């Protein structure tokens, strides 16, 4: 007898549940739309990675813009991400990514990628563990990758401005002595050879007075070029005063240091300049000091300086080996 009453109560309950579900679906769809439009507008790639499966499980729309590659391909194969990393940075990128497992978060991680169109871009890719694995749960790492190419370029330009002599493009005095200090400490610690060359242009005032300051500047530029040509990779060349240059040769035994100084001397002698219809050449005086029992860099520098002045007093255009 009671059956129709029970049926209608059940129907009412089901109808309410259905209405509730429909409301939930609409609410979630609305939220999905908001998230999608937010993620679409953000100029950073948000991503999620299943560590055990080694699979990218989510990547935001910015991926296709920043990396210039297909998100579908990346979701199908994590190798896509690795393939786009600049080969020199691949080891670092893989190592720093694996560190997230023990550290929980990697805040500073920067590497280069090659976009599908061949462009090289710098990426900052921070990541952290959002879900620890274990008990049947996968380890999920999430991250945010941003294009920092412009910032890197700016940093590079600032570094260049801070360390380079504007006229000659060689190291400036401050940068030269900063690097020289590091090389000195390394040589003392490991008992390795180190040579210091001080080079001063001969009669430079006369060159300026005769041919003008601009020609004098050209002379300095060409001499700096000789320095770069004569030295080995890893040697340091800098302009440490108006017409004074210095070279530091780490790991260079005395005989080789002498040969390099002679090469530099010849390169400068070979230079030829034209001014006011006349041709002229220049010479330099060099002081060469090899690391001995110098207690500090100043001592090595002072010995090279004394040798250079001896070269000047002895008639210029020569190399004097420090005592």
Q: How many chain residues are in contact with ligand GTP, going by CB under 6 A?
A: 17
Q: Which of 52, 80, 157, 243 is catalytic?
A: 243
The answer to the question of residue 216 lying near ligand GTP (CB under 6 A) is yes
Based on CB atoms, which residue is closest to ligand GTP, 44 or 322? Answer: 322
Site for ligand GTP contains 313 (CB under 6 A): no
- Our CB check for ligand GTP shows the closer of 208 and 225 to be 208
> Residue 215 class from Cβ within 10 Å (0-12 exposed, 13-18 middle, 19+ buried)?
middle
Q: Which is nearer to ligand GTP, 115 or 312 (CB)?
A: 312
Sole binder of ligand GTP in the list 302, 312, 317, 318 (CB under 6 A):
312
Q: What does each C-alpha distance from 168 to 47, 128, 187, 226 come to in angstroms?
A: 46, 46, 28, 11
**Smallest gap from residue 316 Cβ to ligand GTP (A):** 6
| CA angle (6 as vertex; 2, 9 as ends), nearest 5 | 145
- How near is the Cβ of 169 to ligand GTP at its closest, in Å? 13
The Cα 162–Cα 155 span in angstroms is 10
On whether the CB atoms of residues 187 and 194 are closer than 8 A, the answer is yes
Gyration radius from the chain CA atoms:
33
Of 118, 115, 110, 109, the closest CA to residue 66 belongs to 115
Q: From the CB of 294, what's the least distance to ligand GTP, in Å? A: 25
Interface segment toward ligand GTP; rule CB under 6 A; list 22-30, 43-51, 206-214, 223-231: 206-214
- Specify the residue for token string 């003008």: 212
Closer of 39 and 302 to ligand GTP (Cβ):
302
Contact yes or no for 197/304 (Cβ under 8 A): yes
Separation of alpha carbons 171 and 175, rounded Å: 6
Residues 6+ apart with CB under 8 A from 40: 60, 61, 62
Q: Does 213 bind ligand GTP (CB under 6 A)?
A: yes
Query: Is 74 or 201 the residue whose CB approaches ligand GTP more closely?
Result: 201
Residue 217 touches ligand GTP, criterion: CB under 6 A: yes
**Residue among 180, 183, 198, 201 that touches ligand GTP (CB under 6 A):** 201
| Residue pair 84/113 in contact by the 8 Å Cβ criterion | yes
Active site residue 243: yes
What's the rounded Cα separation, in Å, for the pair 256 and 289?
Answer: 12
Tokens of 269: 């002698």
Contact call for residues 154 and 143 (beta carbons, < 8 A): no
Per CB under 6 A, the segment of 133-141, 153-161, 216-224, 255-263 that binds ligand GTP is: 216-224
Q: Does 310 bind ligand GTP (CB under 6 A)?
A: no
- Cα angle for residues 101, 102, 103 (degrees, 5° grid): 100
**Region 231-260 residues binding ligand GTP, contact defined as CB under 6 A:** 242-243
**Binding to ligand GTP, residues 143-172 (CB under 6 A):** 167
Of 256 and 275, the one with the shorter C-beta distance to ligand GTP is 275
| 205, 266, 292, 313: which one binds ligand GTP (CB under 6 A) | 205
Residues designated catalytic: 243
Q: Which residues bind ligand GTP (CB under 6 A)?
A: 167, 200-206, 208, 213, 216-217, 220, 242-243, 312, 316
């Amino acid at each position: 007898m009671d059956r129709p009453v029970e049926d209608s109560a059940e129907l009412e309950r089901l109808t309410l549940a259905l209405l509730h579900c429909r409301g939930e679906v609409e609410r979630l769809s609305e939220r999905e739309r908001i998230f999608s439009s937010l993620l679409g507008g953000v100029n950073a790639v948000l991503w999620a990675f299943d560590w055990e499966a080694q699979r990218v499980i989510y990547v935001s729309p910015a991926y296709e813009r920043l990396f210039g590659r297909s998100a579908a391909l990346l979701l199908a194969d994590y190798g896509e991400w690795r393939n786009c990393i600049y080969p020199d940075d691949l080891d670092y990128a893989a190592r720093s990514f694996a560190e997230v497992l023990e550290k929980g978060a990697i805040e500073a991680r920067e590497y280069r990628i090659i976009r599908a169109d061949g462009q090289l871009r710098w990426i900052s890719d921070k990541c952290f563990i959002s879900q620890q694995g274990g008990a049947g749960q996968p380890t999920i790492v999430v991250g945010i990758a941003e294009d920092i190419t412009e910032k890197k370029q700016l940093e590079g330009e600032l570094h260049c401005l801070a360390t380079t002599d504007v006229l000659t493009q060689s190291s400036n005095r401050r940068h030269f002595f900063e690097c020289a200090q590091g090389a000195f400490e390394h040589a003392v610690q490991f008992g390795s050879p180190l040579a210091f060359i001080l080079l001063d242009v001969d009669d430079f005032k006369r060159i300026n007075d005769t041919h003008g300051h601009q020609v004098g500047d050209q002379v300095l530029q060409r001499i700096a070029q000789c320095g770069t040509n004569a030295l080995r990779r890893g040697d340091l060349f800098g302009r440490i005063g108006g017409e004074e240059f210095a070279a530091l040769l780490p790991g260079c035994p005395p005989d080789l240091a002498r040969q390099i100084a002679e090469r530099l001397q010849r390169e400068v002698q070979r230079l030829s300049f034209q001014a006011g219809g006349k041709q002229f050449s220049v010479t330099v005086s060099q002081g060469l000091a090899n690391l001995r029992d110098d207690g500090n860099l100043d001592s090595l520098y002072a010995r090279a300086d004394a040798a250079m002045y001896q070269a000047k007093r002895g008639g210029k255009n020569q190399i004097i080996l420090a005592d």
